[in-house]
Chain A
Amino acid sequence: MLNLTKKILLAFLASIVFSLGVSKTVNSKTVEIIMAAPDWPPTRFMQEYFNSSFPQEGDTEIKLTLDFIPWDNFYTNVAASLTSGEQKYSMIVSDSQWLGAFIEGGYFQKLNKYIDADPELQAIFDDMHQGYKEGYTTYPYKSENYYGFPQFPDNYVNFYRTDIFCNPEENAAFRAKYGKKLPCTYADWEIVVWDDIFDINEFLTRKKGEMMAGKPLEDDMFGVTYQAGKAYDFSSMQINGFFWQYGGDIWREDQQPDAQAIGVVNSDINVAALTKYLDLLATMHPSHKTGGMGIFEMQALYLEGKIASMINWVGLGAPVVDPNLSKVNDITGYARQPGTMQDDGTISRWANLGGQPFVLTTWMTQEEIDASFKIIKWWLSYDVQIEAVKAGGQSCMKSIIYSDGYNALAPWNAAYVASMDWQKDVWHIPEFFELLTQQQEEFDKAITGQQDAKTTLDNIAEFQQELLEEVDRIQ
């Protein structure tokens, strides 16, 4: 018996020694960059393409290891890792809104001195689209302090069913009823404003068994759908766009400490914008009543052919064209999301910027920093960006998005590029999550019909004013 115990103890000790040995097999000639990344195609592509085509030069081998973390737990994992100070990651894919929180914590590295010293990096910065540069790299927002590079730029497009919207009979019926065209082509959608969506949704909301586009429906059908979910930022992103399109605003972090929350967030314009958002929502698929119309839930409905159109991130486009995942892979068209008609006859299309930059952390050695910049230059080089776009990724480098043939690389590229000049970002301050969570809760109450737009925005404005005064961001 005693011997057995000793043996077990020995085996255990041996295995600890073994495991320590295993974790220290990195060659001294290799610089390994470990990057925290969400587990989805744009980051998987980065890893796979790096492994197959990164040009190694000199005697130090650069190794890029992406630590893939499920999206659902990504934020928690990164936040826990950073605040614990375990210094596990050299690079991190970060949502743009997280910048402030982690920069103020001393975790993300300011890049200005490296950019100033390196013309190649300057060229990259100059080449980035202005709105995206501001969203992905600056902190404070729109300042000259740079922190990140684009990993996956993203914005909204409208995914729609061409078999329905381009069906001649449906088109004729729609014209007969509403006296206007049911939008079918990209150009048709360019003149669609939110008010038109009322008609489109009324027209396309049909019961199981009714005819649509020449066939009886197997299930209830609904028209255009957009985000209205409680989780993360799944209603704020769409609602912010409505505020901006109507000429309203959110609290302006780039105008501290003068910018106010009360009077701005709950302005009459914003109340009207939110009311419009809620009225439109009432014509959409009832899933939003659970507070569960997040970006993925909406995508699942669209892929299964339960809704005729969705306004969603380009980043979720790849599965739409994948015949294994999508029932609408060959009958989807892409357009810009609808806008709001302004007094001068133009259409305002402001929307909230999506996508993620990647950043460097503050504890890297000089060797690691050098290696990281090699990786960044490689990733943002023309050929690699083109390959990324082909694989479902995106770019915000002007030399690439405005180059010939770019729109042909992916079916949604035209809509993506045309939307780029209409992006603004939500706050980047460290208190971001608190502002967002409270706002999401209030929006959710409005979406699920528990309170009206005015009450909702009053509550939000009051909370923001109090919090922002407490942290000296409003005087």
Chain B
Amino acid sequence: MKRSSGFLAWFMDPKRRGPMLIAPAIIVLLLVNIIPLMWSFGLSFFKYRANTLKLPNFSWFYSYEKVLTKDNIWESLQTTAIIVAGSVGMQMILGFLLALLFASQFPLRKILLMFVLAPMMLSNVAVAIYFKLFYEPEFGLLSQFVQSFITGEMYVLLSTPAGALIGVIFADAWQWTPFVMLLVLAGLVSVPKHLYEAAEIDRMSWWRKFTTITFPYVRSLLLLAVLFRTIETVKIFDLVFILTNGGPGTATETIGVLVYRTAFQFFRTSNSAAMGYILLFAVIVLTSLYLYVIKQRESEEI
């Protein structure tokens, strides 16, 4: 191999191969993601509204103080927590059951699996609009079902805080259960068959087989599913905004909706930046946990 000299040699030095390879990616991310993030981080320490001509005013932690002392952020965090717990919980249970169903080989399995995976491929907006239609008291399937078979009255699911939460949770869980199913399925098919055969010889009960053989193989994947879905569900916005608009009252106003309102309707730009950073902090914690579990899992396998 011919050796070049000068700049090119410096550039091609094997020591710099790693940095050079990742440099383009880092530059793009810096430009489009990191710098905006830093900018809005800076903004969160100023007093600033995007719809006035007043210049930003440095104010230390004023925005954070303002945001954290108001009730609405705690309320919305609580609402978000309920939705996350409900939806992720439901996804785990349903996803697990679906995975058990699809873990074995049977005719037409691949095609039937496609039908179950379909909701995940829909856009959030589409899911929100059609679930709104399903829940609608006059035209909605749910109301018509209740009306014709149970009470004879139109059924208005979204009219109470609890009903609205259930409505949101159900729609979100429906859309994302296939995701959990995929993960659990991966765990189930990785269980070596000979373990089951051995268990058969030992005449183990199915529950014991489940806890001693099946569960250990899917445990870490379940944890990953919980974390991944939690990260995604914390950000929930489209679905809630279209389905309930945060109502009734503020019963379903999640942190995502609150950040949107603060930034684009109230123009409390620095407050929204501060809220964004609180949200970012949560995402960072969850993402680190997620990667930690992945590492654990990989080292276990080796």
Q: Do chains A and B touch in the complex (CB under 8 A)?
A: yes
Which residues does A use to contact B, with CB under 8 Å? 75-76, 79-80, 82-83, 101-102, 104-106, 219-220, 230-231, 285-287, 289-292, 297, 300-301, 304, 306, 430-431, 433-434, 437, 441-442, 444-445, 447-450
Complex interface: chain A residues within 8 A of B245 (CB): 230-231, 291
Asked if B137 is at the interface (CB within 8 A of a chain A CB), the reply is yes
B5 at the interface (CB under 8 A from A): no
What are the residues of chain B within 8 A of A101 when measuring CB–CB?
51, 267
Find A430's partner among B52, B160, B161 (CB 8 Å cutoff).
Answer: B52
- Can you pick out 5 interface pairs between chain A and chain B where the beta carbons lie within 8 Å of each other? A104-B53, A105-B52, A290-B244, A430-B49, A441-B246
18 other A-B residue contacts (CB within 8 Å) besides A79-B264, A445-B249: A83-B50, A101-B51, A104-B51, A220-B154, A287-B136, A287-B156, A289-B137, A289-B159, A290-B137, A290-B157, A301-B138, A430-B267, A431-B266, A437-B261, A442-B249, A447-B248, A448-B159, A448-B249
Question: B244 near A105 (CB under 8 angstroms)?
Answer: no
Minimum Cβ distance to chain A for residue B232 (Å): 22
The answer on a CB contact under 8 Å between B250 and A76 is no
Is B265 an interface residue when CB atoms closer than 8 A count as contact?
Answer: yes
Chain B interface residue count, Cβ-Cβ cutoff 8 angstroms: 33
Task: Give Cα A442–Cα B247 distance, bound, in whole angstroms.
Answer: 10
Residues in A neighbouring B158, C-beta threshold 8 A: 289-292
Q: Do B247 and A291 touch (CB < 8 A)?
A: yes
Instruction: List the A side residues contacting B136 at CB < 8 Å.
Output: 287, 290, 292, 297
Inter-chain CA distance A291–B159, complex, in Å, is 7
Question: Which residues from A are CB-within-8-Å of B159?
Answer: 289-291, 448-449
Residue ID in chain A nearest B266 by CB atoms: A434
With a cutoff of 8 Å between Cβ atoms, the chain B residues found around residue A447 in the complex are 248
- Taking the nearest CB of chain B, how far is it from the CB of A450, in angstroms? 6
CA–CA, A82 and B49, complex, Å: 13
The SS class assigned to the B binding surface is loop
Alpha-carbon separation in the docked complex, A445 to B136 (Å): 19
Question: What sequence of 0s and 1s flags, for each residue 124-167 of chain B, a beta carbon within 8 Å of any chain A beta carbon?
Answer: 00000000100111110000000000000010111111001000
Q: How far is the CB of B168 from chain A (nearest CB, A)?
A: 13
Q: In the complex the two chains form, is A287's CB within 8 Å of B248's CB?
A: no
Task: Return chain A residues, CB-CB under 8 Å to B253.
Answer: 441
3 tightest A-B CB contacts, nearest first: A289-B159, A445-B249, A448-B248
* Cβ–Cβ contact B50 & A448, under 8 A: no
- A230, B265: Cβ atoms closer than 8 Å: no
B34 to chain A, nearest CB (A): 19
Tell me whether A287 and B138 are in contact in the complex, defined as CB-CB below 8 angstroms, given that A230-B247, A444-B247 are known contacts. yes
